[in-house]
Structure 1
Amino acid sequence: MDMAVIELSRLQFALTALYHFLFVPLTLGLSFMLVIMESIYVITKRPIWRVITRFWGKLFGINFVLGVATGLTMEFEFGMNWAYYAHYVGDIFGAPLAIEGLMAFFLEATMVGVMFFGWDKLGRVQHLLVTFLVALGTNLSALWILIANGWMQNPVGATFNPDTMRMEVSNFGDVLFNPVAQAKFVHTVSAGYVCAATFVMGVSAYYLLRGKWTNVARRSMMVASAFGLAASLSVVVLGDESGYTLTDNQKMKLAAIEAMWKTEEAPAAITVFGLPDIQARTTHFAVEVPYVMGLIGTRSLTGKIDGIEDLVLRADSRIRSGVIAYDAVQKLKVNRNDVAARAVFEEHKRDIGYALLLKRYVSDPRQATNEQIMKAAADTIPNVPVLFFLFRIMAGIGFLFIAYFAAAFWCASACGFRRNWFLRLATFMLPLPWIAIEFGWMVAEIGRQPWSVDGVLPTFLGASSLTVPQVWATIIGFTALYGSLAVIEVRLMLASIRKGPVEHAPDEVAHEGPFAPLPAE
């Protein structure tokens, strides 16, 4: 294997995934905000809410197109860059992706056209139903994608078949109701809602600071402040649930996020700040809060959270068990009717993925030395400092949004968004949800390493047989294409924001309304 090809393939997929995820959260959140805004229009029959819905719908459409374009490329990458991964686990991983296309994407793509061009052809209630179906399709897409990703984090409902030498579905219900997938879905979707609410707040604040479209801006901010407050609270609560699922399913990721080198007495403290030292296996200048990590991770005062060193020893034991399973598989390849070999395989099959970690050091895991087994066990430790700091930045921004939207909710009733300091704060907050979301995605994916599917398939075995120049060519090509698309998308969004909702506004809205421009402070 060529590790340069593997690392470049990882870089390419990371770049395309992070780029795609710039558009997904805003699409998720804006879709349901459009439902809320149009519901107000249907109930009140006031034209201004139609104007508001169509304006934010236009921005949703621009963002939606870029999200689709970048998402399709990612699916092709499984075949181009990760061919063995697609072969080995495609029976499980491919099913949610196919269902996403058939159930969610077709619904979303069909209804979005009706939503944009059906304003004058459908009744108010009919058009609201179409908008709701767009939002439903958008969020169902996220559900199926995160079911697939959740299986990579916690591969339930599947077993290795020594006859086909592939992973196969054993219980699709377990795949569908995977606790990791469900926790990731609600947490990710809530983060998208926060993103959209922050976006609407920031753009509306821009209008109010300039005394433009104040009728549209204030009403938009009122919806966004309530929606954002509920969503920001949900993000923190559901993020706590995600942490709880790690205790049972991804112990090493949890230990790495906390830089918990040794198993502590229950209940474990949470480290608010520190400097993790990989070489010394310690965290310098640690600032800890007693009991909190134990409560988050185990929901009790008696449950323990395993430390990194103990988990490495456990990985060592599982590698040795996996070698036994690997040997049994080799015997079954020669004679499928070898009853003794099949019995040995059934006893140790849950650890066969750990034996594959040894292929980084030796072609036949059965020939591995104790030193190589120890190296493979140590490889199960992800990048602790990166996870430690990314998680704390993400969590810090999450708590900041609770305070921000609480202030927005108060400002909606107390001052009608007439305080310039708050409006400037709203524009400053605009990039923060994307930073938190991208960091959260990096925590999830870096924390899974060295696995492409946790405990099943090491990342370095999943790559296609490519050359370094081939991977560099696609990285450069995708970067150039996506860079151009990013420039186009940003220019379209900014042009639409500068223009405002004028093409949809009746005269009484176009010439503002009862709200005067903001007084100077």
Structure 2
Amino acid sequence: MTIAMDVVQLSRLQFGLTAMYHFLFVPLTLGLAVLLGIMESVYVMTGREVWRRMTKFWGVLFGINFAMGVATGITMEFQFGMNWAYYSQYVGDIFGAPLAIEGLMAFFLEATFIGLFFFGWDRLSKVGHLIVTWLVALGSNLSALWILIANGWMQHPVGARFNPDTMRMEVTDFMAVIFNPVAQAKFVHTVSAGYVTGAMFVLSISALYLLRGRHVDLAKRSLTVAASFGLAAALSVVVLGDESGYTAGENQKMKIAAIEAMWDTEPAPASFTLFGLPNQETHRTDYEIKVPWMLGLIATRSIDGEVPGINELVARAQARIRSGLIAYGGLERLQADRNDADARARLAAHAEDLGYAFLLKPIRPDILAATDADVEKAAWTAVPQVSPLFWSFRLMVALGFLFIGLFAVAFVLASRRRLQASPMFLWIAVGALPLPWIAAELGWFVAEVGRQPWVIEGVLPTYLAVSNLTAGNVLATLLGFIALYSILFAIDVTLMVKAIRVGPAAAGSDLTAEPDLAAVPAAAE
């Protein structure tokens, strides 16, 4: 079992690292695509050449980022078959459909129109090219939609059932999969976070240009657009984050309890722990500073809704494990005799808890002989690591409010034409460049680690989902991915820095052209 668990941890580490690396490119793609559409829309409406230069310049950076995103995203899909073979076999009917739609519809739509975006400037009319640019943005969002539908189903499996005859999960209601409330909440929240990332990228690079006195006309207009768009996006992230908290409170109660380090159920409405030191060994949180009612309002949207604590949820998990054992016993009997009607009925009655019985296997393989102590021990494995979730969530939220303040100041300064008169703010804007990526990675960490030990919430434990590989095989590919992705990262940074240093000339404009100083005050034209 030690070797098996090594394979599980290495497989998780490999997929986690590749996913987090890929997610460096996804938010920027989402944000820049919409900003390109906004900038070109202004160009088409006003006819001002500076807006065309802006669109082409930021389009070059978008193209570099998109190419890297494609290169790093393809490998992740292969990992499902290589490292997570049982997962692919067990839930492939449900999980594979959104991935196929994403690949066939959204990805090809996006890739096709990106080609037209870059090569159609002198071949399409202004309006025709503008339509292409907005279709690029639409394709980017559709790609995110189908990926998050698949991920949302992993967080909240709906519209599917276990078929004992095929030993697989099968779709019963595809519309329920598509309109899964967790998936929809994750989509709008993730896309808004991507918009913040794109806006911060444009804001920071534009601030750098202003500090150096280069490409002032382009930088001022770009910063104004980024400030306006970023402020709206940052505010929406907070609002939509509340929606994500509500759906998690409805469907992933253990995740919420772990994020809040709430060991015991509090009288409604529950308090939000602003600060504390969680201790997973003693099952308590020391030095707590709480905000009354806040958690209850977010998680239940009421003043009388109860938010269960970890201890209560562990007790519920024990009950579900015992129910799952009945289903497991029925499944074993049914495998021996397909015509055993009683076994089929017992399995059907307790099928929703079958996954909980699997939590016992790492403790004792003969799970039908499990003792009360075994059941209790297995139930505690349903609790994710509390401290990392607790602090990751709070840092993510703090960054979210920081973005609102930063974009609000930028918006005010741009409105008053005082950007160049505020060098301190411009330096802060430059220094804030990596912060949206940190917030996005923290959000991914909270979402994925928060559902452990499940790869499919309540259905399939992570340890059961891996392929039959040796730890050495997984370690070798992990090291290979680290080396490859390090090279790709160096290439990406080199290309981006070079394009930024060259400036609008990278998009085919004339670097020697003097800025249109008369147009500088009209930054929002």
Q: Match for residue 219 of structure 1?
A: 221
Matched to 2:427, the amino acid is: R
User: Which of 29, 50, 53 is matched with 2:52 structurally?
Assistant: 50
Flag the 1:312–1:123 CA change in 2: closer, same or farther, 3 A: same
* Partners of 2:504 and 2:510 within 8 A in 1: no
Asked if the contact 1:328/1:342 (under 8 Å) is kept, the reply is yes
Secondary structure in 2 matching 1:275: strand
Q: Pick one of 422, 447, 450 that aligns with 1:447.
A: 450
Q: Is the 8 A contact 2:149 2:178 kept in 1?
A: yes
Question: Aligned pair in 2 of structure 1 residues 312, 515: CA closer, same or farther (>3 Å)?
Answer: farther
Tell me how far apart the structure 2 counterparts of residues 188 and 219 of structure 1 sit (CA, whole Å).
26
- CA RMSD between the two structures: 1.4
- Paired amino acid for 1:398: G
For 1:104, the equivalent position in structure 2 comes to 106
SS state of the match for residue 361, structure 1?
coil
Percent sequence identity over aligned pairs: 62
The equivalent position to 2:489 in structure 1, one of 470, 486, 490, is 486
Please give the residue correspondences for 1:184-333 in structure 2 after superposition, counting only pairs within 5 Å: 184-333=186-335
Q: Does 1:425 align with 2:446?
A: no
Contact 1:215 1:509 in 2 (8 A): no
Q: 1:389 is matched with which residue: 388, 391, 395?
A: 391
Whether 1:172 aligns to 2:174 is yes
Partners of 2:174 and 2:137 in 1: CA distance: 26
SS where residue 374 of structure 1 aligns?
helix
Q: Distance in 1 between matches of 2:318 and 2:164?
A: 23
Q: CA deviation at 1:462?
A: 0.4
Distance verdict in 2 for CA 1:352–1:503, change over 3 Å: closer
**Alignment partner of 1:360: what SS?**
coil
Amino acid at match of 1:198: M
Deviates more, 1:248-257 or 1:358-367: 358-367
The partner residue of 1:465 within 464, 468, 488 is 468
Q: Which residue of 2 aligns with 1:60?
A: 62
Pairing 1:93–2:103 present: no
Residue 362 of structure 1: how far off its partner (Å): 2.0
Distance 1:477 1:304 in 2: 48
The question of whether the paired residues in 1 share the 8 Å contact of 2:499 and 2:506 is answered with no
Give the gaps of 5 or more residues in structure 2. Answer: none
Cα 1:448–1:421, aligned 2, differ >3 Å: closer, same or farther?
same
1:267/1:291 contact within 8 Å kept: yes
SS at match of 1:284: strand
The AA in structure 2 aligned to 1:186 is: V
The secondary structure found in structure 1 opposite 2:15 is helix
* Pairwise CA distance, 1:508: 9.9
- Correspondence for 1:74: 76
SS at match of 2:383: coil
Contact 1:215–1:515 (8 Å) recurs in 2: no
Q: Structure 1 509/173 Cα, relative in aligned 2: closer, same or farther at 3 Å? A: farther
Residues in 2 aligned to 1:381 and 1:515: alpha-carbon distance in whole angstroms: 62
Structure 1 position 385, deviation (Å): 0.3
> In 1, Cα distance between the equivalents of 2:59 and 2:511?
21
What amino acid sits opposite 2:259 in the alignment? I
Secondary structure of the structure 2 residue equivalent to 1:500: helix
| Whole-angstrom CA distance in 1 between matches of 2:360 and 2:115 | 52
Structure 2 residue matching 1:363: 3-state secondary structure: coil
Q: Distance in 2 between matches of 1:100 and 1:201?
A: 30
Q: Provide the residue aligned with 2:514 in structure 1.
A: 511
How many residue pairs are counted as aligned between the two chains? 518
* Correspondence for 1:141 among 138, 143, 147: 143
| TM-score for the superposition, normalised by structure 2 | 0.97
1:5 is matched with which residue? Answer: 7
Map of 1:32 onto structure 2: 34
Deviation digits for residues 89-115 of structure 1 (CA, Å, limit 9, x no counterpart): 111010100010111001011111111
Q: Is the 8 A contact 1:91 1:167 kept in 2?
A: yes
Cα 1:462/1:506, change in 2 over 3 Å = closer
1:504, distance to aligned residue in structure 2 (A): 4.3
- Distance in 2 (CA, whole Å) between partners of 1:106 and 1:27 is 15
Distance 2:385 2:417 in 1: 47
CA separation in 2, counterparts of 1:103 and 1:278?
Answer: 45
| Structure 1 residue 516, shift from structure 2 partner | 10
Q: For residue 354 of structure 1, what is the aligned residue in structure 2?
A: 356
Q: Match for 1:477 among 461, 476, 480?
A: 480
CA distance in 1, matches of 2:478, 2:143: 26
Alignment check: 8 A CA contact 1:211 1:516 kept: no
Is the Cα–Cα contact under 8 Å of residues 213 and 510 in structure 1 kept in the other structure?
no
Gap runs ≥5 in structure 1: none
Displacement after TM superposition at 1:510 (Å) = 2.5
- Partners of 2:448 and 2:481 lie apart in 1 by 21
Q: 1:116-171 deviations in whole A, cap 9, x for unaligned?
A: 01100000000011111111111100000000000000001110001111111111
Q: Distance in 2 between matches of 1:335 and 1:306?
A: 41
CA-to-aligned-CA distance 1:265-322 (integer Å, 9 cap, x gap): 0001100111001122111111101011110011111000000000000000000000
Residue identity matched to 2:437 = W
The one-letter code sitting in structure 1 at the alignment partner of 2:69 is G
Q: Using the alignment, how far apart are the partners of 2:507 and 2:60 within structure 1? A: 11
Deviations 1:168-216 (Å, cap 9, x if unpaired)? 1111111000000000000000000000000000000000000000000
Give the TM-score normalised by structure 1.
Answer: 0.98
Shift of 1:461: 0.4
| Contact 2:216/2:515 (8 A) holds in 1 | yes
